[in-house]
Chains A and B, each alone.
Chain A
Amino acid sequence: MIVYDNQFNANEWFIIIGLGIGIVTTMILPKRFPIKISIVFFMCGIYSGFFFDHSLSVQPVSFYDVNDNSSYQFFDFLSYLTFGPFSYLYFYFFDWFNFKNKYIPIYILMWSFICLGFEWCATYVGVYHYQHGYSMYYSFSIYLLVLSSWLFLYFRYYGKSSVTLTK
């Protein structure tokens, strides 16, 4: 097991503050989706975080470790929860601005840069520790793919008709 740090410091505070701000923002924004859809949109980010972290940071090649050491800790779990407000806000603003189809790739690119910015901050404070040549730039292509696939969820379950979904 690789140990990077043993103290409650910047990475833990970054997660707590980030999660706090994210949840408060999600709560105070005016309601836009039916509650069931909101929950799914929120969970979508957490699921994607788990999916990629548990496929890229496990055997056979662990490309990065999360937080203080390479084992699974409570703060690792909390760090995945921070993806929830991200996905919710992504859907929220997409719905709010009601983009024309031709602007969707720009919206996705913009959010990919936002995610990259947050990942840079998280790496700086010690949330992520890259290994085996992995860098943030690989994450960029993952963000583009993931954010594009999220819109499939939006159009499948909300964009089409919100009435049938509340049944």
Chain B
Amino acid sequence: MTFSICMLITWIVIIILSLIPKRLSEIDMVFLFFVNTIFELSIFTIFHVNLKWLNISQEVEKSLADLMFRLIMVPLFFIISTNILLYSWKFLKWIIILAMLVCFILMKDLLKSLGILTTHHWNMMYSILMFCSYLIFSRLMAWFITKAGSKEVDKL
């Protein structure tokens, strides 16, 4: 049941990513997927293994659900956010980002209520900080990869 719920949410994120108008090319998004996963895994592992502020359930189904969330859903979620940040809209994109922040916090609560995640010394502020750091990192990486590509086009 837990795994299926997480699978459904991940699939919804995949659908959203496939439906939204993209501002990044496919290769840029592959790069973003790689770096977002690396960044997310590193930050989460520090909180989980080193600080022990977050604990993952030992049950196989729940830990697999958590892995799917962290290895697929979260990186894709921040590819969506980066695409949205690149839109030319002035206010609407920030409203969408705010809605994504609410979704991110709700997902953390869902993981807790499903028994996948237990938290110590954790509050909503940390979730907001986590979201902002992922968002900024993903946006910076998008800037880096588009710049890297455009430099070469200029040379040609």
Contact = CB atoms under 8 A, between A and B. Distances in A.
B27 interface: yes
A30 to B, nearest CB: 16
A43 B35 contact: yes
A51 B58 contact: no
B125 to A, nearest CB: 23
B145 to A, nearest CB: 6
Nearest to B153: A166
B140 to A, nearest CB: 14
Contact of B153 (A47, A55, A167): A167
A36 B149 contact: yes
Contacts of B41: 50, 54
A70 B151 contact: no
Nearest to B58: A60
Nearest to B44: A54
Interface in B85-129: none
B27 A37 contact: yes
B37 interface: yes
Given A50-B37, A50-B38, A59 B63 contact: yes
Given A50-B41, A72-B49, A153-B30, A36 B145 contact: yes
Interface string A50-82: 110011001110000000001110000100100
B133 interface: no
A28 interface: no
A72 B42 contact: yes
Given A71-B50, A72-B46, A35 B152 contact: yes
Q: Chain A: interface secondary structure?
A: helix
Contact of A157 (B27, B45, B57, B71): B27
Interface residues of B, number: 33
Contacts of A70: 49
B149 A55 contact: no
A60 B27 contact: no
A117 interface: no
Contacts of A54: 41, 45, 71
Contacts of A167: 25, 149, 153
B143 interface: no
Contacts of B63: 58-60
Contacts of A77: 42
Given A43-B38, A58-B48, A72-B45, 20 more contacts: A35-B149, A35-B152, A37-B27, A39-B145, A40-B30, A46-B34, A47-B38, A50-B41, A54-B41, A58-B45, A58-B49, A71-B50, A72-B50, A80-B38, A165-B27, A166-B149, A166-B156, A167-B25, A167-B149, A167-B153
